[in-house]
């Protein structure tokens, strides 16, 4: 007995069948064929799109997270494509390594791997000397009985860990009194970092680093402190963390200005769950935006993904902006996010989409997805993009200046880039809409001008990978503490990540840096000297000027 679903399908097709039979009886054969082919083409396209969506979902659940396609895989895919792969793509794909020869079976001699030796322990670590003496029974010569003379020592090193510990600093303030008239004086107390609290700058710095650099939730910090002999509640630690970040806020503002003044900013964003009593689900999705420029990174929180947030941050910015395909960036650069700021007093636009730079990583990612979902045609794009990145790596390893890199790009990168876009324009019309390869070629076409612009100046990178790497720290922290408690809490996260992320970019120890900077800022560090405290400028031991 047919199922209800089957009967329903036949009933749905009855009008179609009647239409086709009518056209056949009327002799409209050509029109009938075109109609049937059109219907089949539509069904095929929808089936292809649905299959791609299913494969994407299955890969997200069970597949590998890595985007990379190996050199061997690329070579195999290009070989399978045959003449469809352009010569430039074949030249761009590295050859797979040849198989290792079979070892000889006759009397094999075991070969030990070459011993490279242990790496030396860091010279800056403190050393404690320990002398091991020869036992008394062995100090006399067994042959003649004479006491042996010292001829030196053989040194070995053991790497040991000394557990961190809390220290209580007892401050005794001297009291003086006049024996004659009983007048007295007491030494003024040392200035505290926290007026009504007892933490020192080193403890505050550790709390900030543990939470933001090491992604350690407050309850885990409390457990660590308890093991060290001090009980502090997570709420107390949270209050001290908030206080520390508020102290750092003026420095955050200076980092923002430094980044924007660089004239070349790379940007991206990531979501951040934030508690919100007014939201139907109790939690809303805010966003933290990352901006890299001038050797520093600045993070900025916005309650939504609206372009108004980054528009406020970038207000008045006239430099180059590099990012993904987020449409809000174009609105900002075109002056449409805030019409009141569209032009300055002379009627000159504050920014222009001609200063928009694309991202090679996002273009490559689309083709990676299409290729891993089974469309090997995407291997052509991947091989050409890989060639572009190989060239960029070569330029960096050679230490080229901006002018030299631009010259190399014109001579070596431009032909590969032209070949890539020739292939994209040729292959795009052949793709079924909504499929991964169609989306990849469409994305590449849409951002062609902005991606080509990356190669027009030796100062520019061809992607915004640096800011993506900085955002990974936030993503890791998000997995540990799940959400921010409020909009202000999320703003504090952005401030703290700005400081620790900038330290990380410049190879600065964030614990030593924050211990010094928090104390200086709380001690009245001059506002006109904030630049001296930026992570890319800071030096240990800088003293505040009088006045």
> pLDDT tens digits, residue range 88-140?
555 554 444 444 444 444 555 656 666 566 788 888 888 999 899 999 888 88
Residue 327 has pLDDT above 90, yes or no: no
Domain C-terminal end among 463, 488, 509: 463
Query: How does residue 349 score in pLDDT terms, banded at 50, 70 and 90?
Result: very low
User: 36 and 85 share a domain?
Assistant: no
Q: Residue 44 domain-assigned?
A: yes
User: 51 and 77 share a domain?
Assistant: no
Query: How does residue 295 score in pLDDT terms, banded at 50, 70 and 90?
Result: very high
Q: How many Cα atoms occupy the beta-carbon half-sphere of 530 within 13 Å?
A: 16
Domain C-terminal end among 463, 496, 517: 463
Give the chain's domain count. Answer: 2
In this predicted structure, what is the pLDDT of residue 192? 79
User: 37 and 87 share a domain?
Assistant: no
Residues 518-535: what's their mean pLDDT? Answer: 93
Q: Residue 310 domain-assigned?
A: no
Q: What phi and psi, each to the nearest 5 degrees, are found at residue 473?
A: -65, -40
User: 37 and 75 share a domain?
Assistant: no
Measure the CA–CA gap between 261 and 265, rounded to whole angstroms: 9
Q: Residue 388 domain-assigned?
A: yes
User: 44 and 75 share a domain?
Assistant: no
User: 403 and 435 share a domain?
Assistant: yes
Element at 368 (helix H, strand E): helix 360-372
Residue 40 has pLDDT above 70, yes or no: yes
In this predicted structure, what is the pLDDT of residue 372? 84
Quick: pLDDT tens for 160-181: 888 888 888 888 999 999 988 8
Q: Residue 381 domain-assigned?
A: yes
**In the block, residue with structure tokens 């508690």:** 275
With a CB cutoff of 8 Å and minimum separation 6, the contacts of 448 are: 421, 424
Query: How does residue 517 score in pLDDT terms, banded at 50, 70 and 90?
Result: very high
- Token couple for 220: 């885990």
Q: Residue 395 domain-assigned?
A: yes
- Token couple for 217: 């939730």
User: 32 and 82 share a domain?
Assistant: no
User: 398 and 444 share a domain?
Assistant: yes
Q: Residue 417 domain-assigned?
A: yes
User: 389 and 440 share a domain?
Assistant: yes
Structural domain containing residue 46: 28-60
Residues 458-484: what's their mean pLDDT? Answer: 90
Residues 220-241: what's their mean pLDDT? Answer: 94
User: 424 and 380 share a domain?
Assistant: yes
Q: Residue 247 domain-assigned?
A: no
Q: Residue 204 domain-assigned?
A: no
Measure the CA–CA gap between 130 and 13, rounded to whole angstroms: 92
Measure the CA–CA gap between 239 and 75, rounded to whole angstroms: 57
């Amino acid at each position: 007995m047919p199922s209800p679903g089957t009967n329903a399908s036949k009933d749905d097709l009855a009008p179609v069948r009647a239409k086709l039979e009518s056209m056949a009886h009327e002799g409209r054969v050509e029109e009938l064929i075109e109609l049937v082919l059109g219907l089949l083409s539509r069904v095929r396209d929808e089936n292809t799109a649905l299959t791609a969506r299913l494969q994407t979902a299955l890969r997200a659940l069970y597949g590998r997270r890595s985007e990379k396609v190996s050199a061997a895989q690329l070579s195999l895919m290009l070989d399978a494509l045959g003449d469809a792969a352009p010569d430039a793509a074949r030249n761009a794909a590295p050859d797979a390594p040849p198989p290792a020869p079979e070892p000889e079976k006759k009397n094999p001699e075991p070969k030990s791997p070459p011993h490279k030796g242990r790496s030396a322990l860091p010279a800056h670590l403190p050393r404690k000397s320990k002398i091991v003496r020869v036992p008394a029974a062995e100090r006399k010569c067994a042959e003649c009985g004479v006491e042996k003379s010292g001829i030196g020592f053989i040194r070995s090193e053991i790497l040991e860990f000394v557990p961190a510990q809390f220290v209580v600093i007892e401050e005794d303030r001297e009291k003086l009194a006049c024996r004659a008239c009983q007048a007295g004086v007491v030494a003024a107390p040392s200035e505290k970092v926290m007026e009504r609290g007892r933490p020192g700058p080193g403890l505050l710095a550790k709390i900030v680093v543990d939470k933001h650099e090491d992604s350690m939730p407050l309850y885990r910090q409390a457990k660590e402190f308890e093991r060290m002999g001090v009980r502090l509640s997570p709420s107390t630690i949270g209050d001290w963390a908030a206080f520390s970040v508020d102290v750092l806020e003026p420095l955050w503002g200076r980092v923002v200005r430094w980044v924007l003044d660089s004239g070349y900013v790379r940007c991206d964003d990531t979501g951040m769950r934030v508690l919100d009593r007014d939201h139907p689900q109790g939690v809303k999705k805010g966003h933290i935006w990352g901006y890299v420029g001038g050797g520093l990174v600045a993070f900025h929180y916005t309650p939504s993904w609206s372009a108004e947030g980054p528009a406020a941050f970038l207000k008045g910015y006239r430099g180059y902006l590099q990012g993904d395909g987020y449409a809000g960036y174009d609105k900002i650069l075109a002056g449409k996010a805030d019409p009141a700021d569209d032009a300055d007093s002379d009627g000159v636009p504050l920014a222009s989409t001609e200063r928009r730079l694309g991202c090679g990583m996002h273009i490559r990612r689309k083709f990676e997805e299409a290729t891993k979902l089974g469309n090997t045609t995407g291997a052509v794009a991947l091989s050409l993009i890989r060639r572009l990145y190989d060239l960029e790596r070569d330029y960096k390893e050679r230490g080229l200046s901006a002018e030299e890199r631009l010259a190399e790009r014109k001579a070596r990168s431009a032909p590969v880039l032209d070949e890539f876009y020739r292939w994209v324009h040729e292959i795009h019309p052949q793709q079924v809409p909504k499929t991964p390869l169609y989306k990849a070629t469409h994305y590449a076409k849409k951002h062609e001008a902005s991606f080509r612009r990356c190669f027009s100046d030796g100062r520019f990178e061809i992607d915004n990978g640096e800011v993506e790497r900085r955002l990974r720290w936030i993503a890791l922290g998000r997995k540990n503490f799940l959400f921010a408690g409020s909009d202000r809490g999320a703003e504090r996260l952005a401030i703290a990540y700005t400081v620790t992320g900038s330290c990380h970019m410049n190879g600065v120890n964030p614990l030593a840096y924050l211990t010094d900077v928090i104390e200086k800022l709380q001690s009245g560090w001059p506002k006109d000297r904030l630049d001296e405290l930026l992570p890319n400028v800071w030096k240990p031991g800088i003293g505040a000027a009088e006045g």
